Amino acid sequence: MQRCDFKSIKVECTVNATLSQIVVFLLDVDKQKEWVYSNKSTRLIRRIAPNEIIYHAELEAPWPFTNRDYVSHITITQQIPHSLTIEAKTVSGIVPETPGIVRVKSSQALWEVTSMNKGQQKIVYTVQFDPSGALPAWLVNMFVTKGPFQTFQKLKEYIGRPEYKNAHVEFIKD
């Protein structure tokens, strides 16, 4: 059960990208350590469908705290043209826990992406994250905006890389 004393986070930004670019970028989990704040490592566990994956990630925690890891199930849907919904939830029972690393048991994130005009997308990202273990909520809440702020700054920079620039995904209508 998720503790309610951790703040939810909401980030809104605009990126210069297509919907397909965003999908290809987010599904490229092996590169998350380059742009996701405090990401130590990420690996794809299973591709369930073109729009659905499960991956494992480890987050670095500053001393004296212990690193965290989680297993996330991501599903991307496009119910109407010019918009996407991306859901990410922690799942259990897929990757064994690692001694010395705290397993995050409760996290859910939602990306709502809407085309504003050709080549620009508005992203509204909300997340509720319980880091598990012995971290006081007041301490976590003091730093809760730093990670998303830095992550989205890098996202805006990295999504324009050549490997994503001309991306096209069959199940997405750009």
Domain ranges within the chain, ordered by starting residue: 9-165
Q: How confident is the model at residue 96 (pLDDT cuts 50, 70, 90)?
A: very high
Q: How far, in Å, CA of 121 to CA of 82, rounded?
A: 9
Q: How confident is the model at residue 135 (pLDDT cuts 50, 70, 90)?
A: low
Is the pLDDT reported for residue 18 higher than 70? Answer: yes
Q: Is the CB of residue 74 less than 8 Å from the CB of residue 53?
A: yes
* CA nearest neighbour of 14 among 171, 159, 165, 173: 159
| Three-state SS at 94 | coil
Query: Phi, psi at residue 153, to the nearest 5°?
Result: -60, -45
| Residue 4 in this model has a pLDDT that exceeds 60 | no
Is 139 a residue whose pLDDT tops 90?
no
Please give the Cα distance from 152 to 48 (Å, whole number): 26
Q: Extract the tokens encoding 128.
A: 């509720």
Segment 106-117, tens digit of pLDDT = 889 999 999 998
Specify the pLDDT at position 1.
Answer: 38
3-state helix, strand, coil in the chain (%, to 5): 20, 40, 35
Looking at every residue in the chain, the average pLDDT score rounds to 88
Q: Is the pLDDT of residue 140 over 70?
A: no
Give the pLDDT score at 16.
95
Confidence of residue 3 (pLDDT cuts 50, 70, 90): very low
More confident residue, 64 or 100: 100
9-165: what CATH class? Answer: alpha beta
The mean pLDDT of 114-140, rounded to a whole number, is 80
The pLDDT assigned to 144 comes to 62
pTM of the predicted structure, to 2 decimals: 0.87
Report, as an integer, the average pLDDT of 25-45: 94
